[in-house]
Chain A
């Protein structure tokens, strides 16, 4: 991934050279040359890092690392805007792609030297493919896209990154930015369907589903809401212990009267017979709670149902969250229980 200019330095054998295996160039007898040994950099005095006399968290940099950054510091200090400085940033980035100071300077040079932005896109594409979980590389890409005013490659590129790691947070962030900024909503729902078909448990894809629908049709459209409810239930039947599907179902209904949604209670109770899970039971608790809040008949029976399920979850079905279920139980009892029954707030844990 070295900049094209590096090849020039690989044939020289003056001064202090080091066999460089990472480029695989030993095979063709080429060696890496330190900047301090490059004739064309002889006019620059390298600037060593000033850690002080008694450094803390001192990193044992390799010779190569120190050499590159000594020259980077020099270039930064004199604010040199040149092609050689530009190539130096690529070397620095290769050694530490998280150095945001180097990335910033590279962008200054891209603009100063009026570098070909399409070439820069090729460069950043390769870097991201190699290090997709770095913040700086995605930010850099975003800047190039903005300067070019051209998002046309983005969705395909991000899809490629996601095909390697379907949950890469940086990739999803970039994708949401591109879609929202350039209004590229078309086809995204189909893309999500495909991802969920590959992995129904991909929470990032479920999140994207919500993002797309929320920002296009919205969930207030009854046809849309029903479609999504049925979509979720279908996938729940396929894999009942999929937390994401249940979270999505709750998420889309929580502002739309969970307990009065037509037919839902019946469907859930029916599912409980064949496709039960702790998530289903937790969902029922949410439904009962919503009923207690909004539907004012049968309060006592509803409350008892809810409390029973809290106990079931705490004691057996979701034991690891028992403190949470005991807390919820206490809240429900306090709020909806009759005054003789209400207990003091749950004791401190």
Chain B
């Protein structure tokens, strides 16, 4: 049953109550916060003025064109990501997948061949052909190949190389000794705020919190974290119940590739 379309939050009566309260104490943080709120408010005001404007919608066609082009060519502005090309593949392919856009089989094959050139003979994937292997592009490359999901894609991966939890999970080679110290390391990264930082002691950080939580779920050790404080309302991102977080992570990592022509409709058991 479809829910009635609700009024946009930004047009609601009490929306302005959510504005940041500076308490008459100006600091760098509050100045930056206000800048963001002001620029967002400009967008809201445009809608308030013209109610005939339909609510903002995802510009699928434009995004598709942008992504399709980027998968082939990027401007020199991307020189700074020259050591992250598997990431570029992954970000683009993942976005296309979220938009339900299929990748033509010739392009998919080209991705496989390119990532194969990023693979290191000693194992793992590098940021680009000729560079040293590194865990981060390895994660990106394996995920990109799994999104493509063809036999050619899976054949690119050399199973003997991996140590990252998500990679091992996707290729079904998690064994107890491989990740023995990992869960307790991650729990040590959970701090007094409830979130997870990059290393023990560091400030809780959204990105690390996602990765830490995801790794724990994959290793089925999420109960070792203080889940209650992890979900404490320090950020509206955590405005959901704990089970949903675990479910979202599992979904992200284990969901079958959507069935499209030219690609497998299931994550194969390797």
* Shortest Cβ distance from A254 into B: residue: B229
Q: Interface residues of A: mostly helix, strand, loop or mixed?
A: helix
For residue A311, give the distance in angstroms from its CB to the closest CB of chain B.
15
> Max chain A CB contacts within 10 Å: which of B73, B75, B203, B238?
B203
A203 and B191 CA atoms in complex are apart in Å by: 13
* Shortest Cβ distance from A315 into B: residue: B14
Is B239 in contact with A96, judged by CB distance below 8 angstroms? no
B-side interface residues, number (CB < 8 Å): 67
Question: Is A87's CB within 8 Å of the partner chain B?
Answer: no
Q: Which residues of B contact A47 (CB under 8 A)?
A: 130
Contacting residues of chain B (11-33) with chain A, CB-CB under 8 angstroms: 14, 17-18, 20-23, 25, 27-30
Question: Is B231's CB within 8 Å of the partner chain A?
Answer: yes
Question: Is A42's CB within 8 Å of the partner chain B?
Answer: no
Is B233 in contact with A324, judged by CB distance below 8 angstroms? yes
Q: Which residues of A contact B234 (CB under 8 A)?
A: 243, 247
Is A211 in contact with B201, judged by CB distance below 8 angstroms? yes
Contacting residues of chain A (57-72) with chain B, CB-CB under 8 angstroms: 57-62, 65, 69
Known: A50-B117, A57-B89. A324 touches B231 (CB 8 A): yes
Is B83 in contact with A101, judged by CB distance below 8 angstroms? yes
Question: Is B171's CB within 8 Å of the partner chain A?
Answer: no
Question: Is A73's CB within 8 Å of the partner chain B?
Answer: yes
A19 and B238 CA atoms in complex are apart in Å by: 53
A199 and B26 CA atoms in complex are apart in Å by: 8
For residue B6, give the distance in angstroms from its CB to the closest CB of chain A.
13
Question: Is B123's CB within 8 Å of the partner chain A?
Answer: no
Question: Is B193's CB within 8 Å of the partner chain A?
Answer: yes
Q: Which of B117, B192, B229, B240 contacts A51 (CB 8 A)?
A: B117
Which of A110-118, A168-176, A183-191, A298-306 makes up part of the contact surface?
A168-176
Known: A241-B23, A277-B21, A323-B240. A54 touches B110 (CB 8 A): yes
For residue B4, give the distance in angstroms from its CB to the closest CB of chain A.
16
Is B129 in contact with A49, judged by CB distance below 8 angstroms? yes
Is A321 in contact with B239, judged by CB distance below 8 angstroms? yes
Question: Is A120's CB within 8 Å of the partner chain B?
Answer: no
Question: Is A198's CB within 8 Å of the partner chain B?
Answer: yes
Chain A 172-210, CB-CB to B under 8 Å as 1, else 0, gives 110010001000000000000000001111111001001
Known: A101-B131, A201-B30. A96 touches B240 (CB 8 A): no
Is B20 in contact with A207, judged by CB distance below 8 angstroms? no
Q: Which of B23, B71, B131 contacts A240 (CB 8 A)?
A: B23
Question: Is A291's CB within 8 Å of the partner chain B?
Answer: no
Known: A49-B130, A100-B132. A200 touches B111 (CB 8 A): no
Q: Which residues of B contact A215 (CB under 8 A)?
A: 201
Q: Which residues of B contact A57 (CB under 8 A)?
A: 70-72, 74, 85, 88-89, 92, 114
> Max chain A CB contacts within 10 Å: which of B25, B30, B78, B191?
B25
A58 and B30 CA atoms in complex are apart in Å by: 41
Question: Is B80's CB within 8 Å of the partner chain A?
Answer: yes
Q: Which residues of B contact A254 (CB under 8 A)?
A: 192, 229
A274 and B88 CA atoms in complex are apart in Å by: 52
Is A320 in contact with B75, judged by CB distance below 8 angstroms? no
Q: Which of B25, B80, B202 contacts A172 (CB 8 A)?
A: B202
Is A349 in contact with B244, judged by CB distance below 8 angstroms? yes
* Shortest Cβ distance from B203 into A: residue: A207
Question: Is B82's CB within 8 Å of the partner chain A?
Answer: yes
For residue A320, give the distance in angstroms from its CB to the closest CB of chain B.
5
A210 and B204 CA atoms in complex are apart in Å by: 12
Chain B 87-113, CB-CB to A under 8 Å as 1, else 0, gives 011001000000000000001001101
* Shortest Cβ distance from B92 into A: residue: A57
Question: Is A224's CB within 8 Å of the partner chain B?
Answer: no
A-side interface residues, number (CB < 8 Å): 70
Is B80 in contact with A96, judged by CB distance below 8 angstroms? yes
Question: Is A144's CB within 8 Å of the partner chain B?
Answer: no
Is A99 in contact with B83, judged by CB distance below 8 angstroms? yes
Q: Which residues of B contact A56 (CB under 8 A)?
A: 71-72, 85, 89, 107, 110-111, 114-115
For residue B260, give the distance in angstroms from its CB to the closest CB of chain A.
19
A169 and B199 CA atoms in complex are apart in Å by: 11
A55 and B211 CA atoms in complex are apart in Å by: 30
For residue B231, give the distance in angstroms from its CB to the closest CB of chain A.
7
Question: Is B205's CB within 8 Å of the partner chain A?
Answer: yes
Question: Is A1's CB within 8 Å of the partner chain B?
Answer: no
A99 and B131 CA atoms in complex are apart in Å by: 8
Question: Is B198's CB within 8 Å of the partner chain A?
Answer: yes
Q: Which residues of B contact A199 (CB under 8 A)?
A: 27-29
Question: Is B40's CB within 8 Å of the partner chain A?
Answer: no
Question: Is B121's CB within 8 Å of the partner chain A?
Answer: no
For residue B111, give the distance in angstroms from its CB to the closest CB of chain A.
5
For residue A105, give the distance in angstroms from its CB to the closest CB of chain B.
9
Chain B 137-167, CB-CB to A under 8 Å as 1, else 0, gives 0000000000000000000000000000000
Q: Which residues of B contact A55 (CB under 8 A)?
A: 72, 110, 114
5 more CB-based (< 8 A) A-B contacts, given A201-B27, A251-B192, A320-B236:
A57-B92, A65-B76, A96-B79, A96-B83, A207-B191
Interface residues, chain A, CB within 8 Å of chain B?
47, 49-52, 54-62, 65, 69, 73, 76, 95-101, 104, 166, 169, 172-173, 176, 180, 198-204, 207, 210-211, 214-215, 238-243, 247-248, 250-252, 254, 277, 282, 316, 318-325, 327, 346, 349
Q: List 18 A-B contacts (CB under 8 A).
A: A49-B128, A49-B130, A52-B117, A55-B114, A60-B75, A73-B130, A76-B130, A96-B80, A172-B202, A173-B199, A199-B29, A201-B30, A207-B191, A207-B192, A239-B25, A241-B20, A251-B192, A316-B14
Q: Which 5 A-B pairs have the closest CB atoms?
A: A251-B192, A201-B29, A207-B203, A199-B27, A241-B21
